[in-house]
Amino acid sequence: MAQFNLGRVRGYQGPKGDQGDIGPKGEQGIQGPEGDKGDTGIQGPKGDQGDSFVYEDFTPEQLALLKGEKGDKGDTGLQGIQGEQGEQGEQGIQGIPGEQGPKGDKGDPFVYDDFSQVQLELLKGPKGDKGDKGDQGIQGEQGIQGEQGLQGPAGQDGSDATVTISNDLLQTVPGSVLDATQGKVLSDRVGPLASLTTLIKTTVVNAINSLREEFTTHKAEITQQIIPITRDLSIIGVQTIATLSNRKIRSIEFYGTVNFSKKITLGIYSGAIQRNIYNLPADGTFTTTNYAITFSEDSTINRTVGTIQNVTDNGFEILWEKNGTGATGTAVINCLVTYHD
């Protein structure tokens, strides 16, 4: 007999049964992914007008965003009432000195009226030494005759007749005084003392004595002086020679040689004149030049010459120059200076 397993046999599906009752709500499941955004809904009705914004409603960030561009400068307002003066502040630090300005135009020279009395006292230096006595002034005009004096005591009985003195100053009487006319004649004969060229002009006698003293002093003065000098003849340029102070030079003679050679020079300076005699060492002959000093090396072509210049009351200069290659050696020269008597 055959056997069947009924558990594995499936029959035909029957018709759908009625829906069963809703079961109890289960626990909420895990939220799924967000879906696409839906369409915008229909605009609702306009609400009531809200209150106006005030400053306090905004945050600092919102106020900064609301600030617009800087406007144009407004008109200057009316000047306010001046306030009371405040207390003086502390003195500030001294500033750096500014740059020196350009040099101004030369001002006018000072005159006496530009100074105050105080400034004049400050400008006054120490009292100087007493100056020399000035020249005697020109004789003034005769003054008005004074009143007659009191009568003097009676003189001795004169037995001599009155002597009349002429105005030619050829006659006089001891003890008599010159009248105005005679005094004028004497003054004309003597001449004005101010015209004297002596240092002392007080009287004619003093002027004569002054001349005598000057003459005596002058006789004792040195009238000549020998000044030895040396010079390297290979060097050109100016050599300055000092003489006696404040003495006018009349002439200068030059006697020179170069030691251990045949070079000789003899020259003279006198005002605008300069002359020289020198020898030619090659053959021993002599020749002349218009220089005060000349040294020859071997001919009239190669030589060193000296010209006297800038002669003053205190000295003179020698301008050394070369003709050709010049001379060599050290010259020894004696200068005989003669001063005016």
Same domain (yes/no): 243, 187: no
Specify the pTM. 0.41
**According to the model, what pLDDT value does residue 78 have?**
80
- Answer yes or no: is 190 within a domain: yes
Domain assignment of residue 48, yes or no: no
Closest to 280 measured CA to CA, from 298, 294, 304, 305: 298
| CA 284 centroid distance within chain | 59
Give yes or no: residues 229 and 329 share one domain: yes
* 311 within domain boundaries: yes
Look at residue 108 in the predicted model and tell me its pLDDT. 73
* Total domains in the fold of the chain: 2
Q: Supply the pLDDT for residue 3.
A: 54
pLDDT tens, position by position, for the chain (341 residues)?
555 455 555 666 777 877 777 777 777 777 778 777 777 777 778 877 777 777 888 888 887 787 777 878 878 878 778 778 778 778 777 777 777 778 777 777 767 777 777 777 776 767 777 777 777 767 767 777 777 767 666 655 544 444 454 555 555 666 666 666 767 777 776 777 777 777 676 777 777 777 777 766 665 566 899 999 999 999 999 999 999 999 999 999 999 999 889 999 999 999 889 999 999 988 889 999 999 999 999 999 999 999 999 999 999 999 999 999 999 999 999 999 999 86
Residue finishing a domain among 218, 239, 269: 218
237 and 214 share one domain = no
Q: Is 214 helix (H, G, I), strand (E, B) or coil?
A: helix
The predicted pLDDT at position 175 comes to 64
For residues 185 and 280, membership in a common domain is answered with no
Are 241 and 334 in the same domain?
yes
Answer yes or no: do 196 and 281 share one domain. no
Which of 218, 240, 271 lies at the terminal end of a domain, its last residue?
A: 218
Give the pLDDT confidence score for residue 159 in this predicted structure.
Answer: 46
Dist CA 287 CA 21 (whole Å): 171
Are 206 and 266 contained in the same domain?
Answer: no
233 and 331 assigned to the same domain:
yes
pLDDT at 94: 75
Do the domain assignments include residue 161? no
Is there a domain that residue 57 lies in?
no
Domain boundary among 218, 242, 270: 218
Angle CA 205–168–192, to nearest 5 = 40
Asked whether residue 331 is domain-assigned, the answer is: yes
Residue (of 266, 262, 264, 286) closest to 276 by Cα position: 266
The range of the structural domain enclosing residue 234 comes to: 224-339
Residue 282, classed as helix, strand or coil, is: coil
Residues 269 and 335 in one domain: yes
Residue 96 CA, distance from chain mean position: 26
CATH of residue 272's domain is 2.60.40
Residues 207 and 229 occupy one common structural domain = no
Please indicate, yes or no, whether residues 232 and 334 belong to a single structural domain of this protein. Answer: yes
243 in a structural domain: yes
Structural domain includes residue 301: yes
Tell me, yes or no, whether 248 and 309 share the same domain: yes
